Amino acid sequence: MVTRHDAEALDAADPLAPFRDQFDLPEGMIYLDGNSLGPPPRTAHKRMDETMRREWGEGLITSWTGADWIGAPQRIGDKIAPLIGAKAGEVIVADSTSINVFKALGAACSLNRGRRKILTERGNFPTDGYMIEGFAGISNGAVAHSSVDPDDLLDALDEDTGVLLLTQVHYKTGRIWDMTETTARAHGAGALVIWDLSHSAGAIEVDLNGAGADFALGCGYKFLNGGPGAPAYLFAATRHQKKAQAVLSGWFGHRRPFDFTHAYEAAETVAKFQCGTPPIISLAALECGVDLMSRVDMKALRQKSMALGELFATLMDERCSAFGFRLVSPRDAKLRGAQISYAHDHGYEIMQALRAADIIGDFRAPDIMRFGMTPLYLRFSDIFDAVERIRDVMASGAWRRPEYAERRRVT
Ligand SMILES: *Cc1c(COP(=O)(O)O)cnc(C)c1O
């Protein structure tokens, strides 16, 4: 049996332990939901204040150039680039992940005309499929949405597949697609590949260029700790930037927006994937999260995240096996991202009871309980304490209280 003492020994030897002080976390809470919304980096408070008072309040319009607001999408994109195996000039921060899915579909389809199928995995994060539906809906029959079970996916790549859109780390199970192999298979079939990195960037090592990826996008508010609704990012491989079409052709993607020309002339760089005016206050918060992540050795981060997940799974086996939890993540840590998930028929109620006990994870219908394994602020002893509290909630039947069954709008 693993003891709390064992967990404390792991904490004492943890090279990432000092990062915990860089975050603002409520006293006593064990936060296992950094895969859904990262906590605020301490630097963000000062930066918000500075952006509000000095840049906005005093600088007003002059801050577009004086505080380089205009350069923020590219500057922060260049900082995200090394976290995902991209080069400077290949990543732009803009809009939401959903909107970037649409933009990437437009870009990829414009490079691969004549092929009808946009292929994705059944059970992918819903917005990705929804955006394919919307994109296909206005394509006048030129493209169509096709989703297949993950086991059948590689075989479904055929001469009619124009684009493969996949989320590298599955939002429910944490299962990881092999980016290199999958990209190669898609390219072999003549398709372009878009990777959704929402659960990858800041969670696992990612090498877009090593895999030869075409386009990618992902969230700023999960593992990058950019704040609720933080702007997202989009990657376009250098070789595609000139030719790929920016279908949301707003003025910020124009080559010279401040020439105010009548005709649209797209920028020839990744900047073409901006659409409208960037959200400066949100970008400032995101930059704090990205700067913090940039200081982290991703290899060490991944090692610790795997070790946290391994400890969680071991403790669940040892202490909670009688309570009906079914592991739905791969048992092998190398095959899952920075989360571990269990199915339970009463997962919603149990998660509410855990939150009342200051253990914060989340629930994804119909029956999945997710626990984020984020190494920058979680200690091994937190994992130990969390599983102890899961055992308490189950053994005492505390989760059966009627108020825990009331469904909230966000789960
Ligand atoms: C979280 C997540 C999104 C979120 O999209 P938003 O537009 O930011 O709401 C998209 N795709 C995946 C795979 C996600 O996990």
Q: What is the pLDDT of residues 363-405, one digit of tens each?
A: 999 999 999 999 999 999 999 999 999 999 999 999 999 999 9
Report the pLDDT value the prediction gives residue 153, as an integer from 0 to 100. 97
* Cβ 167 under 6 angstroms from ligand 1: yes
332 is catalytic: no
* Cβ 95 under 6 angstroms from ligand 1: no
Q: Span 172-187, mean pLDDT?
A: 98
Q: Span 19-35, mean pLDDT?
A: 97
Give the model's confidence band at 100: pLDDT under 50 very low, under 70 low, under 90 confident, else very high: very high
Q: Is the dihedral of CA 238, 239, 245, 251 positive or negative?
A: positive
The DSSP call for residue 313 is: H
Which run of H or E residues covers position 109? Answer: helix 97-111
* Cβ 125 under 6 angstroms from ligand 1: yes
Taking the C-alpha atoms of residue 112 and residue 41, their distance in angstroms, rounded to an integer, is 41
Report the pLDDT value the prediction gives residue 222, as an integer from 0 to 100. 98
Q: What residues contact residue 198 under an 8 Å CB cut-off, 6+ apart?
A: 97, 125, 167, 169, 171, 218, 219, 222
Taking the C-alpha atoms of residue 89 and residue 44, their distance in angstroms, rounded to an integer, is 25
Cβ distance 217 to 101 under 8 Å? yes
Encoding tokens for residue 175? Answer: 């299962």
Q: Span 83-93, mean pLDDT?
A: 98
Q: Is 364 helix (H, G, I), strand (E, B) or coil?
A: strand
CA of 47 to the centre of ligand 1 (A): 26
Q: What residues contact residue 296 under an 8 Å CB cut-off, 6+ apart?
A: 16, 19, 376
* Cβ 233 under 6 angstroms from ligand 1: no
221 is catalytic: yes
Q: What is the dihedral of CA 188, 191, 192, 193, to 10 degrees?
A: -80
CA of 317 to the centre of ligand 1 (A): 31
Instruction: Specify the residue with its C-alpha closest to ligand 1, atom 3.
Output: 97
CA of 217 to the centre of ligand 1 (A): 10
Report the pLDDT value the prediction gives residue 239, as an integer from 0 to 100. 98
CA dist 45 → 40, 244, 283, 333, 335 (Å): 8, 39, 13, 35, 36
Which run of H or E residues covers position 145? Answer: strand 144-148
103 is catalytic: no
What pLDDT digit, counting tens, does each position of 298-355 carry? 999 999 999 999 999 999 999 999 999 999 999 999 999 999 999 999 999 999 999 9
Length of the chain: 411
Of 305, 288, 293, 303, nearest in space to 379 by CA:
305
Pocket test for ligand 1, best of 35, 98, 100, 200 (most atoms within 8 A of CB): 98
Residue 161 forms beta bridges with which residues? Answer: 117
Report the pLDDT value the prediction gives residue 263, as an integer from 0 to 100. 96
* Cβ 171 under 6 angstroms from ligand 1: yes
CA of 199 to the centre of ligand 1 (A): 9
Report the pLDDT value the prediction gives residue 157, as an integer from 0 to 100. 98
Cβ distance 91 to 233 under 8 Å? yes
Report the pLDDT value the prediction gives residue 384, as an integer from 0 to 100. 98
Report the pLDDT value the prediction gives residue 300, as an integer from 0 to 100. 98
CA of 128 to the centre of ligand 1 (A): 8
319 is catalytic: no
Report the pLDDT value the prediction gives residue 208, as an integer from 0 to 100. 98
Q: Is the dihedral of CA 87, 93, 94, 98 positive or negative?
A: positive
Q: Span 141-152, mean pLDDT?
A: 96
407 is catalytic: no
Of 338, 314, 318, nearest in space to 38 by CA:
338
Of 331, 353, 334, nearest in space to 342 by CA:
331
Cβ distance 102 to 196 under 8 Å? no
Encoding tokens for residue 352? Answer: 């509410």
Q: Is 308 helix (H, G, I), strand (E, B) or coil?
A: helix
Report the pLDDT value the prediction gives residue 216, as an integer from 0 to 100. 98
Report the pLDDT value the prediction gives residue 184, as an integer from 0 to 100. 98
Sheet with strand 339-343: strands edge to edge: 326-327, 339-343, 368-372, 362-364
Question: What mean pLDDT value characterizes the chain?
Answer: 97
